[in-house]
């Protein structure tokens, strides 16, 4: 069929109109001086109302005109004044802000793309381009993509949002990532322990965090901040102490409520941070509970405080181990010569923290070998003189392994350590061949160690109170079920003249008063394991424990935790035995050495204790 020129012209006009309409299909945000925006049935101020669109709402644009624009909002279509709309096509070349809340810059225009940087509603971005619902933006020197609907389309600076912390951290427990700072709000994602997060803001007991894929709220108690290592961009313009002193007055003025606390500081140097040009000092202030109270970025040039933020309730930063270049290992020994009975401490640095294995040789004979594991610090207690070769093998997540060797000497001519140890380490390897009737002190000696420790604290320092000698003296106290602790303490009381009782005590007030008066108690700290109580906290709520084999306690304790004391006298539950001061992991036995720590007195009394009173 042959078309007339008139038909062709009409078809071309229709096609052009359709193309123009399709090309103009985009989104716009309502921007009015106040109140909502009326939508009318036709492009006329006298036309009937279809609906009213709230200020700042996002609408779909169908046709754009100089005075009137046709839009759709919540399935209702009509006309509204063009002057009160800001179109997404107008964004390139403009500086805009987030539509409230958090703006996530992603590495690519996709919802599952990694987050490059989180921004708050007071941090402006420069729009480079808009396409398919995504805006390519720039923040400082950082480029990324954000959904256009997340932008406010505002060119004006909004009311200042609270300063963000923007500190990196890890989750110490598995938690639910929630939509709001409310334990009943929708769960966005389940996050496992060890997940890396960026903490941006705090809302009471919750904090807003950004993960690699999104953001939401988690409990503050689940987050441990990471300490930022010093960068290479150091400066001599202002010492950290000078910067801290100059910042102190400004910080106290900003955070008056903390002015009565005794605070400690840490300082790291940055080339730049959070958009501020460097060099800068990042100063963290901590209280005696090792909690962040506030922090600041301080100019290295003049000490001016550029940024402050409250860090209340976060734990002290945990410094990540310093990684070496790919494939490299560095092994440090505390000493290269030790006496028989001495301990060598080992520190391993590598390109990864995936796993580390220890193997010990003497005259090319393998003496001990650990399983590959997470311990990059370890210890070994020597039982024989000679030359030893230590082989460290590190493996990364891809299966690549590298090894390093170190030599050390055990010298029989050096004086041995004092046998009257403050805290005996039952599982350090020294007691593997020390007999205790049909067993060894390594396997069955916890009650012997507890009693020996009590006697030495009472002033007995002779050879007879050493564990190996007590194991011979009281060998008959060991049964197939373990040590009969009641018999052991009763027989020792006759020889050493202290008071005891046949029955177990559970009266908390009496136990506290006895500890305050200088008495001791041995007790079953966990199933099948005996430890010593040798003190009480000033407020009477925490008992001081001497434990020869803390790994057994930590793995078996039920409905409670081991605690360690902070500088201000308060107590914190240990998330691992590494948290407790003095912790040493012995690779030969895969156990921690003896430790002193604290337990709640209510836990102790519930277990029941055996009285050892020096007073006759």
Residues in Cβ contact with 290 at an 8 Å cutoff, skipping those fewer than 6 apart:
315, 316, 566, 567, 572
Residues 336 and 474 reside in one and the same domain: no
| pLDDT score of 559 | 80
Whether residues 143 and 181 fall in one domain? no
Residues 454-487: pLDDT tens digits?
Answer: 999 999 999 999 999 999 999 999 999 899 999 9
Mean pLDDT over residues 403-413, rounded? 97
Q: What is the mean pLDDT of residues 39-66?
A: 89
Q: Are 185 and 206 in contact (CB under 8 A)?
A: no
| Any domain includes 419 | no
Q: Are residues 445 and 530 in the same domain?
A: yes
* Residue after which a domain boundary falls, among 120, 150, 180: 150
CATH, residue 58: 2.30.30.40
pLDDT at residue 159 tops 60: no
Q: Are strands 26-30 and 58-64 parallel, antiparallel or unpaired?
A: antiparallel
| In a shared domain, residues 452 and 513 | yes
Average pLDDT for 226-237 = 48
Number of structural domains in the chain: 6
The model carries a pTM of 0.59
pLDDT digits (tens, 9 = 90+) for 93-114: 888 877 666 778 888 998 888 8
Question: What is the C-alpha to C-alpha distance for residues 295 and 265, in angstroms, rounded to an integer?
Answer: 9
Co-location of 263 and 333 in the same domain: no
The three-point CA angle 427-572-606 to 5° equals 70
Distance CA 182, CA 327 (A): 45
Q: Answer whether residue 106 is part of any domain.
A: yes
Whether pLDDT at 523 is above 70: yes
For 417, the 3-state DSSP assignment is coil
Average pLDDT, the chain: 83
Kindly state whether residue 593 falls inside one of the protein's structural domains. yes
pLDDT band at 32 (very low <50, low <70, confident <90, very high): confident
d(CA 315, CA 76): 51
356 & 391 share domain: yes
- Asked whether residue 163 carries a pLDDT value surpassing 80, the answer given is no
For residues 568 and 484, state if they share a domain: yes
- The answer to whether residue 427 is domain-embedded is no
480 and 603, same structural domain? yes
Residues 336 and 446 in one domain: no
Residue 326 scores a pLDDT above 70:
yes
| 198 and 274 share one domain | no
Structural domain contains residue 324 = no
Could you report the per-residue pLDDT of 378-394, keeping only the tens digit for each? 999 999 999 999 999 99
Q: Which of 51-55, 355-359, 516-520 has the lowest mean pLDDT?
A: 51-55
Q: Which of 131-135, 162-166, 319-323, 514-518 has the lowest mean pLDDT?
A: 162-166
pLDDT for the residue 23: 40
- Domain end call among 47, 73, 89: 89
Structural domain span for residue 184 = 167-225
Residues 81 and 102 in one domain: no
Same domain, 77 and 97: no
End-to-end C-alpha distance for the chain, whole angstroms: 124
| DSSP string for 56-119 | T-EEEEEEE-SSEEEEEETTEEEEEEGGGEEEGGG-TT-EE-BSSSEEEEESSSSTTSPEEEEE
pLDDT of residue 431 exceeding 90, the answer is yes
- Identity of the highest mean pLDDT range in 183-197, 224-238, 530-544: 530-544
């Amino acid at each position: 069929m042959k078309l007339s020129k008139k038909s062709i012209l009409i078809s071309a006009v229709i096609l052009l109109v359709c193309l123009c309409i399709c090309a103009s299909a985009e989104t716009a945000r309502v921007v009015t001086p106040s109140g909502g925006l009326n939508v009318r049935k036709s492009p006329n101020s006298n036309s009937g109302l279809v609906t009213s669109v709230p200020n700042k709402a996002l609408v779909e644009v169908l046709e754009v005109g100089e005075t009137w624009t046709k839009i759709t909002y919540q399935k209702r279509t009509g006309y509204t004044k063009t002057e009160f709309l800001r179109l997404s096509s107008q964004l390139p070349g403009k500086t805009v802000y987030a539509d409230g809340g958090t703006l996530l810059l992603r590495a690519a225009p996709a919802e599952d793309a990694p987050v490059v940087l989180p921004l708050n509603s007071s941090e402006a971005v420069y729009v480079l381009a808009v396409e398919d619902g995504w805006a390519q933006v720039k923040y400082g020197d950082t480029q990324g993509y954000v959904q256009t609907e997340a932008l406010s389309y505002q060119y004006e600076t909004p009311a200042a949002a609270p300063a963000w912390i923007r500190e990196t951290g890890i989750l110490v427990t598995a938690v639910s990532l929630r939509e709001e700072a409310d334990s009943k709000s929708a769960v966005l994602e389940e996050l496992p322990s060890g997940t890396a997060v960026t903490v941006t803001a705090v809302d009471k007991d919750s904090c807003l965090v950004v993960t690699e894929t999104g953001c939401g709220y988690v409990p503050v108690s689940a987050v441990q901040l990471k300490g930022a290592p010093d960068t290479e961009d150091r400066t001599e313009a202002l010492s950290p102490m000078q910067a801290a002193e100059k910042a102190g007055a400004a910080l106290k003025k900003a955070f008056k409520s903390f002015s009565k606390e005794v605070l400690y500081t840490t300082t790291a140097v940055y080339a730049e941070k959070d958009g501020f040009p460097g060099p800068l000092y990042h100063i963290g202030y901590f209280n005696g509970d090792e909690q962040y109270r506030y922090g600041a970025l301080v100019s290295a040039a003049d000490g001016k405080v550029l940024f402050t933020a409250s860090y209340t309730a976060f734990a002290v930063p945990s410094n990540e181990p310093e990684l070496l270049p790919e494939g490299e290992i560095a092994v440090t020994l505390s000493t290269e010569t030790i006496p028989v009975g001495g301990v060598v401490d080992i520190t391993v640095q590598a390109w990864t923290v995936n796993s580390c294995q220890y193997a010990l040789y003497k005259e090319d004979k393998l003496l001990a070998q650990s399983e590959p594991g997470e311990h990059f610090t370890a210890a070994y207690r020597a039982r024989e003189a000679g030359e030893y070769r230590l082989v460290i093998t590190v493996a990364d997540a891809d299966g690549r392994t590298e090894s390093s060797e170190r030599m050390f000497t055990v010298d029989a001519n050096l004086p041995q350590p004092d046998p009257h140890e403050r805290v005996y380490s039952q599982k350090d390897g020294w007691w593997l061949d020390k007999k205790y009737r049909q067993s060894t002190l390594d396997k069955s000696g916890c009650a012997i160690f507890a009693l020996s420790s009590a006697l030495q604290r009472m002033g007995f320092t002779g050879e007879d109170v050493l564990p190996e000698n007590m194991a011979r003296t009281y060998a008959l106290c060991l049964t197939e079920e373990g040590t009969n602790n009641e018999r052991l303490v009763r027989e020792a009381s006759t020889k050493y003249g202290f008071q005891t009782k046949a029955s177990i005590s559970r009266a908390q007030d009496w136990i506290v008063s006895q500890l305050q008066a200088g008495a001791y108690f041995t007790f079953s700290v966990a199933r099948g394991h005996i430890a010593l109580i040798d003190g009480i906290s000033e407020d009477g709520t925490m008992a001081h424990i001497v434990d020869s084999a803390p790994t057994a306690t930590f793995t078996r304790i039920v409905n409670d935790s081991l605690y360690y004391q902070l500088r201000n006298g308060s107590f914190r539950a240990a998330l691992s035995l590494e948290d407790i001061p003095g912790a040493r992991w012995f690779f030969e036995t895969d156990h921690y050495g003896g430790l002193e720590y604290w337990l709640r007195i209510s836990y102790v009394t519930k277990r029941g204790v055996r009285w050892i009173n020096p007073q006759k």
